[in-house]
Amino acid sequence: MKRAILNYQKGIMFILALITVGLTYQSCEEVDMTDRQTLKDLVIDYPCKEVCLVAGQHMQVGTVIVSQDGDDIHVTYNVTESGVYLTEIHLDIFADLDQFDAAKKLSGGGAIPGKFEFKKSWKASAMMTSYTVVVPKEYIDEIAPNADCFYIASHAALSNGETAWGGFCTETDKGVSLSDAMQFPGNNWGVYFEFCLDECLTTVDFTYAWEDLMKDGADGNDGDYNDLVIKSDVLRSQDMLVISIYASARGASYDHAFKIKIPKTGIADALTGGINGHADIEEDGDYYIITVFASTKAVLPAENEAPYPFVANTLPTDTDCEPHANAIITILTDENFDFDPDFPYEPFITVHPGTTNAYDLNIWELQANLADGSTWIDEEGKEHPNGIIIPYNWQWPYEKTYIGEAYAGFTSITDGWNPNWADNLTDATKVFDLICE
């Protein structure tokens, strides 16, 4: 059966839910997770929106699919009707009908496809069934500056002599109906549809790293910032947040639990399936605290006996990215969820989890009030952050190597924090020489 109205967001959310339930609902320490990069590629390549390609007002001959590539928009015509091919396509975007009319792309008979911005033609012998129009960011900014939504007019001429328009349709006993579609004014049946940028999944990348001693125990911190290294993809749709976690290194003798804190507002009840893929979850006032890895020693066991029998992927003798640990957290959200791509959740670690000596260490730069960020003091009395946020593909220092020896721009808080310190690796011989992802 032909699907009259399709929105791939629902499909991808269902797929992600299946992946999550099947692979991550158990304790993270016990599950061999699916590869996080494969999941990321699946989501990013998935279309944002799909509407019908309708010929002669009632015959669905294919689909028009909208996807996003960076800041550009891709609009793909797909003809699925046997023996029917594209001979011409005409496509344009507009902010409102008055703008389209002022550009002389409307008449008393409706839209004028020949005046559309994007056009292409083929001979019927080419048997063209699919074509993608790239709408560059520059054109979008020109037509709909600072707009989150705009309209798409997609027209096609077909090898069977019919013309077709892309729009929302519903199935009827006599084919499909465009009664719910947006119709151009005038004596015509041409239609268009609205597209909003937030219909596409957005992705942001982070890496977090810690020194795991508190301020009053700082004489033991060596400043290599490899006690725990966590990489994270955050994928956002209209109704779901997908957090992909990759634990890549542990250079500490202490155990940790890796956790994230996120506001409850706009999140479905965690106790009834609103959050999946966690090792544990608890409520903390207006927040949920999600334990992703209950024990970093369990998920990142040491492979080397000497000289540091407790580390993983932090020695020059380590020649691969094993061990590592993956987790995927899916969170169902609604319109009340406040998504900040720069701070989608608050990551932190609990050192000595499950003991009376446990304490939490957060990411200093992500705190609204920097005075509340976790810091430690070196032997010279200078203050440093316990947790740092760095570029996604980051090479961390080897064991017992002060981070400033590899990244000369790294400074203490006392000397004036340089937020761009990681832009320049000054000594590649002092960092783990593989990119683990």
pLDDT digit of tens for each residue in the chain (437 aa)?
333 333 334 444 444 443 433 333 333 333 333 344 444 444 444 578 899 999 988 999 999 999 888 789 999 999 999 999 999 999 999 999 999 999 999 998 899 999 999 999 999 999 999 999 999 999 999 999 989 899 999 999 999 999 999 999 988 887 888 888 899 998 899 999 999 987 876 666 889 999 999 876 545 689 999 999 999 988 877 788 889 899 999 999 999 999 999 999 999 887 677 888 888 999 999 999 999 999 999 999 987 666 788 899 999 888 888 889 999 998 998 889 988 888 889 999 999 999 999 999 999 988 755 566 789 988 888 999 999 999 777 899 999 999 999 999 999 999 999 999 999 899 999 999 877 76
For residue 1 the two structure tokens come to: 């059966």
DSSP state letter for 114:
G
Q: Residue 181 has what pLDDT?
A: 87
The whole-angstrom separation of Cα 241 and Cα 1 is: 31
Q: Please report, in angstroms and rounded to a whole number, the separation of the first and last CA atoms in the chain.
A: 41
Distance from C-alpha of 77 to C-alpha of 288, rounded to nearest angstrom = 43
**Would the CA dihedral through 313, 318, 323, 326 be positive or negative?**
positive
Distance (Å, whole) CA 156 – CA 431: 55
Alpha-carbon Rg for the chain, nearest whole angstrom, is: 27
pLDDT at 69: 80
Rounded alpha-carbon distances, angstroms, from residue 69 to 158, 203, 323: 27, 12, 33
Q: Which residue has the tokens 């966590």?
A: 230
Please choose, from the candidates 160, 243, 143, 237, the residue with its C-alpha nearest in 3D space to the C-alpha of residue 199. Answer: 237
What pLDDT sits at residue 271?
65
Dist. CA 202–CA 96, nearest whole Å: 25
Q: How far apart are CA 27 and CA 200, in angstroms?
A: 31
Cβ-proximal residues to 241 (8 Å cutoff; 6+ apart), any chain: 234, 235, 330, 331, 333, 337, 339, 344
Alpha-carbon dihedral 232, 46, 168, 74, rounded to 10 degrees: 100
Backbone angles phi, psi at 212, to 5 degrees: -105, 15
How many CB atoms neighbour CB 70 within 10 A?
A: 7
CA atoms of 360 and 343, how far apart (whole Å): 19
26 residue type, one letter: Q
Whether residue 307 is preceded by a cis peptide bond, meaning omega within 30 degrees of 0, is yes
pLDDT on residue 357: 92
Cα distance between residue 46 and residue 135, in whole Å: 17
pTM: 0.65
- Helix or strand run (H / E) with residue 172: strand 170-172
Whole-angstrom distance, CA of residue 382 vs CA of residue 359:
22
CA dihedral 224, 228, 231, 232 (to 10 degrees): -130
**Which residues have a Cβ under 8 Å from the Cβ of 231 and sit 6 or more positions away?**
205, 206, 207, 208, 245, 246, 248, 392, 436, 437
Element holding 361 (H helix, E strand):
strand 359-362
- Copy the structure tokens of residue 104: 């002389």
Q: What was the pLDDT predicted at 18?
A: 39
d(CA 259, CA 282): 11
Enter the tokens of residue 406.
């590899």
Report yes or no: 219 and 379 within 8 Å, Cβ to Cβ.
yes
CA dihedral of 401, 405, 406, 410, whole degrees rounded to 10: 110
317, 307 contact by CB (below 8 A): no
> Cα separation of 379 and 393, whole Å?
30
3-state secondary structure of 36: helix
Residue type at position 73: I
Q: What contacts 349, CB < 8 A, 6 or more positions away?
A: 210, 212, 228, 256, 257, 258, 259, 296, 360, 361, 387
Which residues, including other chains, have CB under 8 Å from residue 304's CB and lie 6 or more apart?
311, 315, 317, 318
